[in-house]
A and B are shown apart, each in its own frame.
Chain A
């Protein structure tokens, strides 16, 4: 995990259409396991489909399905932006 550089991207900084990647997942945070089970494993890329009209939650497309997460409840997951390839 030490060889990863993060650009300090937070879930609250996600905007519609952005692509991001899970850099690392906190192993001991209680709430993170559910998110990992939902497919947010280390290295997984996802796309931000939409931010809800009231600013939260965020809808992402990960592993071919749509998942909504509250910005404040994903603290155990570190993400980085993926430079758009297309």
Chain B
């Protein structure tokens, strides 16, 4: 394999461009992977959330650019994916011309429906080669496809391919090479009535003369009385309207025009081809392996039990099993800091910038990678075997009523461990509206980074006063809260904020398949790369920014001043606080962030938070996990306290306002926990949402609504507490 640069779709004016199209679930990714190997690039199409996957393949000794066109069911462009797919096919995407050849990936086990799209592609006269997948599965069920016959009937090359075993890959390359040189003419007669076709052709010519370029299928649809854009345009042009009316009247003499004829004729042709080319080698079994598995997996008792077991495993692996790897990541970066730190001792600013800014940021980014990789391992596995569709089937009712989708279960559940892989996992939802709604509520699920602050506050304020049972309940309630709040939010989002119509829910249950490990590894690798490249960059940049806000301004000699202040403290005060902790606290107090915390104290006062709590909240905006160490520093205990620190619990419960009232009452503690439960304090999530929605609009919206919600809830709880006493 040559290790040169993969040709990108943009750069290559003389390189041939081949588009891979097909129905969702047809096995496009496997074909793409087997043609391109590791030469792949992932980006976004301009202005939309649809991902653009391109690669390069060696075809007949030449480099050919390959584009994995989003899956589509028809050329009607009903969904966002389909709209983009059509734009790619027709060369309407910026900086991209239309493909020189389309490889139509067709599922042999679902021929009829796959042939339906073929009729559209062929009618639109795209140069085509058919890659026939799943022939191995068909064979195991006792049937095979006569590809020569099929090739004759379709008019194009039909290449059976079992991508993950490498079977047929060479033949497909050869077919692509042949057809790039001289494409074949696909069958275009699907059995529409001759009189109709004559009229369609005439009208197309007339439309073209008027400068309206419509595909024949669209004109036929209009003529038959179906929904079509053509009608609206023709209404404005009297002469064309007359021609249409005349054509209709003429056709109606032969019988009433039925809009259903358009799709019906195509499907009749598809059924005819399917019948002619699929040969049974043995009679079908009464129950296929898929039927047997489905009997269990979608069973009302066993199905739900298996579902819960699988989800438990997925959740545990990102919540618990990822921990050692995450610790290892943290340890590695800690060692890196120790190594780098002495070398930079000459300049404290640079030393702090590198260690507390850059390395801390890199660590904060890499810490998410284990969870992302593990989650996408499971998702690709579940999706590829066909289980994910079953899970969606089971869960659709539970989530569908409020505008979500059965598949939202995985991203939402994952978000209880961490919203970053959760948001990324929302790509399992095909409907863009439902996917966006899921992304926007995912960070409300209580992630593991919120646990320390819950444990700290429950340990300090709930358990001592109300006992262990209430402490346990409080922890449970905090986890339930986000879910409960999310439901009305989804309702509101779907009723107005998210534009666009949702499509009727169609969910295919594909036959079960063995996992294709190469696809699994590749997807994991790709997701990790995408995260590091886009979200990671933002996380590191934000980390450096927050470091600066906490470090500056640091006038020369500041430390010396604090040290002398410490020396003048009364002896009993000095006994409680070490000099280092005292200096640290004064430094954070005097930093831009600390000053800001003091300035906005009045804003947080209705919630019962003073400048110390406010500063801790502000410092936690980039990543909420820093709140406990921040509190440690602010309460002069140093940054290495954790949620079990008795000193910190004591400091919090003994803290007072200047007038001597206790700072944190049980009400304030609950308010503070609710604040952390609802607030969007995670730049990693925001960066990931930015990547996944391809716009800054939604992360900003998410930040605003969650922060507002958190603030209002905290204020409400504190005020209620004051009323009740």
Contact = CB atoms under 8 A, between A and B. Distances in A.
Contacts of B74: 37
A30 B109 CA distance: 30
Contacts of B264: 41-43
Nearest to B225: A27
Nearest to A53: B300
A54 interface: yes
B655 interface: no
B313 interface: no
Interface string B497-532: 000010111111110000000000000000000000
A17 interface: no
A85 to B, nearest CB: 16
B507 A67 contact: yes
Contact of A37 (B116, B225, B227): B116
Contacts of B304: 53
A67 B267 contact: no
Interface stretch (B11-19, B343-351, B392-400, B474-482): B392-400
Given A25-B260, A27-B260, A34-B73, A65 B396 contact: no
Interface residues of A, number: 37
A18 interface: no
B504 A68 contact: no
B587 to A, nearest CB: 57
B111 interface: yes
B503 A34 contact: yes
A50 to B, nearest CB: 6
B78 to A, nearest CB: 6
Given A28-B227, A38-B113, A74-B504, A53 B394 contact: yes
A35 B299 CA distance: 26
A81 B298 CA distance: 24
A41 B267 contact: yes
Contact of B397 (A35, A56, A66): A56
B396 A38 contact: no
B385 to A, nearest CB: 15
A33 B78 contact: yes
B509 A59 contact: yes
Contact of A64 (B111, B227, B294, B506): B111
Nearest to B508: A67
A68 B393 contact: yes
B326 interface: no
A56 B110 contact: no
B173 to A, nearest CB: 29
A63 B267 contact: yes
A80 to B, nearest CB: 15
A52 interface: yes
Max chain B CB contacts within 10 Å: which of A1, A30, A69, A70?
Answer: A70
B303 A37 contact: no
B600 interface: no
B143 to A, nearest CB: 11
B610 interface: no
B325 interface: no
B504 A56 contact: no
B259 A27 contact: yes
Contacts of A36: 260, 263
A42 B258 CA distance: 10
Contact of A57 (B116, B259, B393): B393
Contacts of B152: none
Interface string A13-41: 00000000000110110110111111101
Interface string B294-328: 10001110011000000000000000000000000
A18 B389 CA distance: 22
A8 interface: no
A68 B73 contact: no
A67 B394 contact: no
B396 A52 contact: yes
A59 B393 contact: yes
A27 B226 contact: yes
B271 interface: yes
Contacts of A35: 504, 506
Contacts of A66: 508-510
A39 B263 CA distance: 8
A35 B510 CA distance: 17
B76 interface: yes
Interface string B94-123: 000000000000000111110010000000
Nearest to A44: B267
Contacts of A44: 267
Contact of B294 (A41, A50, A65): A50
A30 B502 CA distance: 11
Interface string B397-410: 11010000000000
Contact of B506 (A1, A38, A54, A55): A38
Contacts of A33: 76, 78, 227
Given A57-B393, A57-B505, A67-B508, A34 B400 contact: no
B119 to A, nearest CB: 11
B396 A56 contact: yes
Contacts of A69: 504-507
B73 A57 contact: no
Nearest to A58: B393
A30 B504 CA distance: 10
B393 A52 contact: yes
A78 to B, nearest CB: 12
Given A52-B298, A63-B113, A65-B510, 17 more contacts: A25-B259, A27-B259, A36-B260, A37-B76, A38-B73, A38-B113, A52-B393, A52-B396, A53-B303, A54-B398, A67-B506, A67-B507, A67-B508, A68-B389, A69-B504, A70-B504, A74-B504
Interface of B: 73-74, 76, 78, 109-113, 116, 225-227, 258-260, 263-264, 267, 271, 274, 294, 298-300, 303-304, 389, 393-394, 396-398, 400, 501, 503-510
Interface of A: 1, 24-25, 27-28, 30-31, 33-39, 41-44, 49-50, 52-57, 59, 63-70, 73-74
7 contacts: A30-B227, A54-B396, A54-B397, A57-B397, A64-B111, A69-B504, A73-B505
Q: Which 10 A-B pairs have the closest CB atoms?
A: A54-B397, A53-B300, A27-B259, A66-B509, A68-B507, A63-B112, A73-B504, A42-B260, A31-B504, A41-B264
